[in-house]
């Protein structure tokens, strides 16, 4: 039987995506009520990092602890993926010790290579292409706060990056109508648009690109932003600060949206760049609720992947 990995939201059907979200929601309710079922008792997650992290590392580690298992953090210096040892060899060895691997990498090809050579499920904990675990938490958050996903209007304002791409696939599969406003040259690529439209045939969502942030937020239920320069793009940060300035999510932009709009950000935030203090700390912001949901959504993912509840 082939191994189930979690490399991209686009690999899921709407049914599977909803199954993971429902597991996450149920586990969250149990945990909030003081319960913790040891569904992954004795199981271990190996966590490989090529980049820094707060949320991904701690939420996966705590998720495994809640479920009765454990997690091992492997720092960039330790494994030196693809440098000290080839990516396939890392997968071959690590997957003989642990029950699942979560990897945060620069090149998406590296999570694909890990999956191709692993005996156990591989989870993409962020690559230059996508951030599917973030999208799970984002969907859970919108679902909890707005009571539905179908028909939600989501305005993504900023870089057409890994987070935006996973969000676009997630929106397509769950009936969310997403508009992504990016400066020219920084929009989501054509392949992502095509893939998202194909997924929308099954899920009922949509994706539209624009360069106008005000037009994007006018009918929005959700405004979402992310950093202008992602990890690995530090050399471009200054140039990007100039290009993206009109795309800042500030009080003036939020005022163009309906009054019940919520504001999301995957974090870490560069306060004063893509989002102002006033907005991130303001009444429309749900960013810390969203950050907490990384824990709950990923518990659903782990339980699904490791087969504890089908």
List the catalytic residues. 104, 131, 134, 226, 266, 294
Residue-by-residue DSSP string for 198-242: HHHHHH--EEEEES-HHHHHTT-SEEEE--SS-TT-GGGHHHHHH
Widest pairwise Cα distance in the chain: 54
Q: Are 190 and 161 in contact (CB under 8 A)?
A: no
Minimal CB distance residue for ligand NVA: 230
- Rounded to whole angstroms, the Cα distance separating 73 from 76 reads 10
Q: Are 263 and 287 in contact (CB under 8 A)?
A: yes
As measured in angstroms, the least distance from the Cβ of 22 to ligand CP is 22
- Rounded to whole angstroms, the Cα distance separating 42 from 276 reads 44
Q: Which residues bind ligand NVA (CB under 6 A)?
A: 126, 161-163, 226-227, 230-231, 266
Cβ distance to ligand CP smaller for residue 50 or 134: 134
Choosing from 56, 141, 174, 285, the residue that interacts with ligand CP (CB under 6 A) is 56
Residues 186-245 touching ligand CP, rule: CB under 6 A, are: none
Residues 76-135 touching ligand CP, rule: CB under 6 A, are: 126, 134
Tally Cβ neighbours within 10 Å of residue 57.
18
Per partner kind, with CB cut-offs from 5 to 8 A, the member of ligand NVA, ligand CP, none near residue 206 is none
Contacts of 74 (CB under 8 A, 6+ apart): 46, 47, 48, 49
Cβ distance to ligand NVA smaller for residue 59 or 230: 230
Cβ distance to ligand NVA smaller for residue 230 or 290: 230
Q: Which stretch binds ligand CP (CB under 6 A): 23-31, 54-62, 106-114, 142-150?
A: 54-62
Q: How many CA atoms lie within 13 A of 40 on its CB side?
A: 29
- Residue 54 interacting with ligand CP (CB under 6 A): yes
As measured in angstroms, the least distance from the Cβ of 62 to ligand CP is 13
Peptide bond before residue 268 is cis, with ω within 30 degrees of 0: yes
- Rounded to whole angstroms, the Cα distance separating 155 from 157 reads 6
As measured in angstroms, the least distance from the Cβ of 57 to ligand NVA is 11
As measured in angstroms, the least distance from the Cβ of 54 to ligand CP is 4
- Residue 267 interacting with ligand CP (CB under 6 A): yes
Per partner kind, with CB cut-offs from 5 to 8 A, the member of ligand NVA, ligand CP, none near residue 161 is ligand NVA
- Residue 62 interacting with ligand CP (CB under 6 A): no
As measured in angstroms, the least distance from the Cβ of 43 to ligand NVA is 26
Choosing from 79, 227, 266, 275, the residue that interacts with ligand CP (CB under 6 A) is 266
Query: What are the CA-CA distances from residue 24 to residues 57, 194, 294 (Å)?
Result: 18, 29, 9
- Which residues of this chain interact with ligand CP, rule CB under 6 A? 53-56, 126, 134, 266-268
């Amino acid at each position: 039987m082939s191994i189930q990995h979690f490399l991209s939201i686009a690999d899921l059907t709407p049914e599977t995506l909803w199954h993971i979200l429902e597991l996450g929601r149920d586990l969250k309710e149990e945990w909030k009520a003081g319960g913790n079922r040891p569904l992954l008792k004795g199981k271990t997650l190996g966590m490989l990092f090529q980049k820094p992290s707060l949320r991904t590392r701690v939420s996966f580690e705590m998720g495994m602890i809640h479920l009765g298992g454990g997690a091992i953090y492997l720092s960039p210096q330790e494994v030196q993926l693809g440098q000290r040892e080839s990516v396939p060899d890392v997968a071959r060895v690590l997957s003989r010790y642990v029950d699942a691997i979560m990897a945060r990498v620069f090149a998406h090809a590296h999570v694909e290579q890990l999956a191709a050579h692993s005996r156990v499920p591989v989870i993409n904990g962020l690559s230059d292409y996508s951030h599917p675990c973030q999208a799970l938490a984002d969907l859970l958050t919108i679902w909890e706060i707005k009571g539905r996903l179908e028909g939600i209007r989501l305005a993504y304002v900023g870089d057409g990056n890994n987070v935006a791409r996973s969000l676009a696939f997630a929106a397509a599969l769950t009936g969310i109508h997403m508009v992504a406003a990016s400066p020219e040259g920084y929009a989501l690529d054509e392949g992502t648009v095509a893939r998202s439209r194909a997924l929308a045939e099954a899920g009922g969502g949509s994706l539209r690109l624009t360069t106008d942030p005000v037009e994007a937020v006018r009918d929005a239920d959700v405004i979402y932003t992310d950093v202008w320069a992602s990890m690995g793009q530090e050399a471009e940060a200054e140039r990007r600060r100039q290009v993206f300035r009109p795309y800042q999510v500030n009080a003036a932009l939020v005022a163009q949206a309906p009054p019940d709009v919520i504001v999301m950000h995957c974090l870490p935030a560069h306060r004063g760049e893509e989002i102002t203090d006033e907005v991130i700390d303001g009444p429309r912001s749900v960013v810390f609720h969203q950050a907490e949901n990384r824990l709950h959504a990923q518990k659903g993912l782990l339980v699904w992947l490791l087969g504890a509840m089908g």
